[in-house]
Structure 1
């Protein structure tokens, strides 16, 4: 998909506000099902953010969310491990460890993401692929990726005001389809998508688990939706955006489950 870019300063997620005709991504909201799916995802996150546990235990919920998100992201790569083993530090698989490092580091990248997205993507790749490729290749996207990464970075830096869940889906889809690094691109793409939702105000406390939503929808459905997005056809892009919104909605439910488990002690 070719991303048109215009200069301009973005604002945190404001739902439908700002999706004007001038916005390069505004037309995405008019694709079949996208606006309703984005609204449902936003409503799901809003329900999660009002849970009373978050008034005193948001850090604990966020930590557990990061752990579950890392496990789910690795599962989407074909490495599925028990959550209890991961929590106990008994999993040494390099894919899982890369997903865990990336997930746990997102909080430190929120402020930098909109200012220097390329720098953050390089750092995410270093974390995700540290045990999977040569050291010299870490954080270095291939030359084929430069034009699309440039367009994506401009959008992340403020070139659009579409709802955060839509931008997060676009970031995720672009990186996964483009595979700029050649190794651990899926881990990086999901981490960057999640980071977009955090930084743009969709889930500022980082307590939802969208990666779990993707697992619940199924690996085959995830791969099919991503393949549709990669074609650039409007119906494929729409299906991917709706898929991501649905995963975000399910990820909010996973966050609620974490809150309830902490409430029960």
Structure 2
């Protein structure tokens, strides 16, 4: 499967350019000269929170920070009803740790060698779901059971058909020329994982974490600090449009991903400025 024809879809080249410009401007912020690790780490917390929120686990940033530093949410520190969200938030944080561990250092030269695609998915999924999903489903593709999440995206493949599609997606990523825009590669992987739902649950967290890794490893966001925040209904609507396979649906999804990157670069810039000032933004 070649991704190059997607560049000919209406609006895609402009979307690629907008995302490139936003990330290029971000790269030269003063904070990335010496304190990029702090910015990336803080962006990771916020990205994990946004990803968990799309799973229905909406918690304050203070709770995410506490969990990331080894704390435990309690009935005394978390508003009523949020304690039950802790496993999902913790899973999103663990997935973030996995992908950030694979990101290149800022300024690194040469291509980054990522694990084989199937292994990458399994590692991220195990991090995201270990502890709350039954062990027999952790890090393993579905065989007979349907996905238990993202049910609004229609029927999903299973068994050998699913495995073949995941293999094809991995081959597509591996064979994509370096010149293929990272935005397009990440957007396609993101949407395909949402559509395929290769695991019993936790598919959205995996899709978003892997897409973030691809944006960084393929050079669009070398800072690794773009913080994508999506509204649930438009997000799922755009993913459903991609799943139709129509030119309009695929193009609209890539354009939506570009908009999320542009907004995410603005969020990252606010964090970078906060790191320099010693006062991180509250949101």
Is the TM value for this pair above 0.5?
A: yes
**RMSD of Structure 2 on Structure 1 (CA):** 1.4
Give the CA deviation at 1:112.
4.7
Q: Deviations over 1:182-209 (max 9, x none)?
A: 2000000001101111111112231211
Q: 1:249 aligns with which of 262, 272, 275?
A: 262
Q: Distance in 1 between matches of 2:141 and 2:113?
A: 19
Within the candidate set 91, 107, 111, 1:98 is matched to 91
Residue 108 of structure 1: how far off its partner (Å): 2.2
Partner of 1:151: 168
2:27–2:222 contact (8 Å) kept in structure 1: no
Q: Normalising to structure 1: TM-score of the pair?
A: 0.86
> Alpha-carbon deviation of 1:47?
0.8
Over 6 Å off, 4+ runs? none
Q: Which residue of 1 aligns with 2:50?
A: 72
1:195 maps to which of 207, 213, 220 = 213
Give, in whole Å, the separation in 1 of the partners of 2:274 and 2:38. 11
Structure with the greater alpha carbon radius of gyration: 2
Provide structure 1 residue ranges, at least 5 long, that are not aligned to the other structure.
5-23
Partner residue of 1:238? 251
1:28-43 equivalent positions in 2, closer than 5 A: 28-43=6-21
Query: Per-residue displacement from partner, 1:60-91 (whole Å, max 9, x unpaired)?
Result: 00000100000000011111110022112354
* Greater helix share, structure number: 1
- Structure 2-normalised TM-score? 0.80
Correspondence for 1:18? none
Distance 2:57 2:140 in 1: 24
The answer for the alignment partner of 1:118 in structure 2 is 118
CA shift for structure 1 position 235: 0.7
Q: How many residues align?
A: 237
Q: Distance in 2 between matches of 1:235 and 1:40?
A: 19
Distance 2:116 2:248 in 1: 32
Partner of 2:138: 138
Q: Which residue of 1 aligns with 2:77?
A: none
Structure 1 residue 109 and structure 2 residue 127: aligned? no
2:149 corresponds to which residue?
A: none
Corresponding residue for residue 152 of structure 2: none
Q: Which runs of 5+ in 2 are unaligned?
A: 74-82, 104-111, 143-158, 279-283
Corresponding position of 1:59: 37
